[in-house]
């Protein structure tokens, strides 16, 4: 993990800090900061895909992705207080937008908790059978039995 040695960003909430950081890194020109804020869902609308945010500002999705990487690189360096880290690290509460939370965490250099995918029958079919521990001598005919 990189040392958080950057200049602190003002703000009391995760969204405030993410907005301030984005404006600090990208500035107001040509909708650069607005495209990242739209992608993250920090402008009062649901989060957009990279391509949707790019179309709004007449750039490609790759250009928006590059801007997101620039903000995230700086976000990984700024110091965050314990309350913000705890807020970014917890799971989304009911009613919160989990996509916006993950994207804010990404912009601020915090890896949010992973949510395990649902278990399906197809997942079990695709899993190889578990290896046998070898505790039963006749269980693996391809291996010699241990000496008695």
pLDDT digit of tens for each residue in the chain (148 aa)?
457 888 888 888 999 999 999 999 999 888 999 999 999 999 999 999 999 999 999 999 999 999 999 999 999 999 999 899 888 888 888 888 999 999 999 999 987 656 655 666 665 555 555 555 555 555 556 666 666 6
Enter the pTM of the model.
0.72
Residue extents of the structural domains in the chain: 14-107
C-alpha–C-alpha distance, residues 77 and 113, integer Å: 20
Annotate 76-128 with DSSP letters as a single string: TTS---HHHHHHHHSPPPTTS-HHHHHHHHHHTT--PPPPPPPP-HHHHHHSP
- List CB contacts of 30: < 8 A, sequence separation 6 or more: 57
């Amino acid at each position: 993990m990189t040392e958080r040695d950057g200049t602190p960003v003002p703000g009391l909430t995760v969204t405030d800090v993410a907005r301030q950081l984005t404006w600090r890194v990208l500035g107001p020109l040509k909708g650069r900061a607005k495209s990242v804020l739209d992608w993250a869902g920090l402008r009062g609308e649901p989060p957009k895909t990279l391509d949707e945010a790019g179309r709004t500002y007449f750039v490609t999705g790759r250009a928006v992705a590059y801007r997101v990487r620039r903000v995230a690189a700086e976000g990984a360096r700024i110091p965050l207080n314990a309350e913000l880290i705890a807020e970014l690290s917890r799971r989304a509460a009911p009613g919160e937008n989990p996509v916006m939370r993950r994207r804010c965490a990404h912009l601020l250099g915090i890896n949010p908790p992973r949510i395990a995918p649902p278990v399906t029958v197809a997942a079990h079919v695709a899993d190889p059978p578990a290896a046998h521990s070898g505790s039963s001598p006749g269980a693996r005919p391809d291996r010699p039995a241990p000496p008695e």
